[in-house]
Chain A
Amino acid sequence: MTDFLDQVETCVPALRRYARALTRNIDLADDLVQDCLERAISRRALFRPTGPVRAWLFTILLNLYRNSLRSSHRRGQTVDIDTIPEPSTPATQPGHIALAEMARAIETLPLDQKEALLLIALEGLSYSEAATILGIPQGTLMSRLGRARAALRVATGNSAEPHLRTVK
Chain B
Amino acid sequence: MSAVTRDMLMAYVDGQLDAADRPAVEAHLAANPEVAAEVLLWQRQSNALRALFAPAGSEPVPARLRAHRIAAATGSRRMRSWRWAAAAVVLVGLGLGGGWFARPLLNGAPAASASLIADAVNAHTVFVAENRHAVEVPATDQDHLVTWLSNRLSTPLDTPDLSAEGFTLVGGRLLPGEPNAGGRAAQLMYENAAKDRVTVYVTAALPDRAPAYQFANAGGAEAFYWANARITCTVVGTLPEAQMKTVSQAVYRQMTEGDVTAGPPYRG
Which chain A positions have C-beta within 8 A of B14? 120-121, 124, 127
Q: How many of chain B's residues touch chain A, expressed as a range? A: 35 or more
The answer to whether A12 touches B37, judged by C-beta atoms less than 8 angstroms apart, is: no
B45 touches A41 (CB 8 A): no
Closest Cβ of chain A to B51, distance in Å, is 6
Q: How far is the CA of A55 from the CA of B140 in the complex (A)?
A: 71
Contact with A along B1-24 (1 / 0, CB 8 A): 001111100110011100000000
Q: Which of B62-70, B91-99, B260-268 is near enough to bind chain A?
A: B62-70
Taking a contact as CB atoms under 8 Å apart, the answer to whether B16 and A16 are in contact is: no
Q: Which residue of A lies closest to B74 (CB)?
A: A42
> Interface on chain B toward A: helix, strand, loop, or mixed SS?
helix
* B61 and A152 form a contact (CB under 8 A): no
Residue pair A103, B52 in contact (C-beta under 8 Å): yes
Contacts A9-B68, A41-B70, A142-B6 known; list 15 others, CB within 8 Å.
A12-B61, A14-B57, A16-B65, A29-B56, A41-B71, A97-B45, A99-B48, A99-B52, A102-B48, A103-B52, A117-B49, A121-B49, A124-B15, A126-B16, A146-B10
Query: What are 30 A-B contacts defined by CB distance under 8 Å?
Result: A8-B67, A9-B66, A12-B67, A13-B61, A14-B57, A16-B56, A16-B65, A17-B53, A17-B57, A30-B65, A37-B70, A41-B70, A42-B78, A97-B48, A99-B48, A99-B51, A99-B52, A102-B49, A106-B52, A121-B45, A124-B15, A126-B16, A127-B16, A146-B6, A149-B42, A153-B41, A153-B45, A158-B41, A162-B37, A164-B6
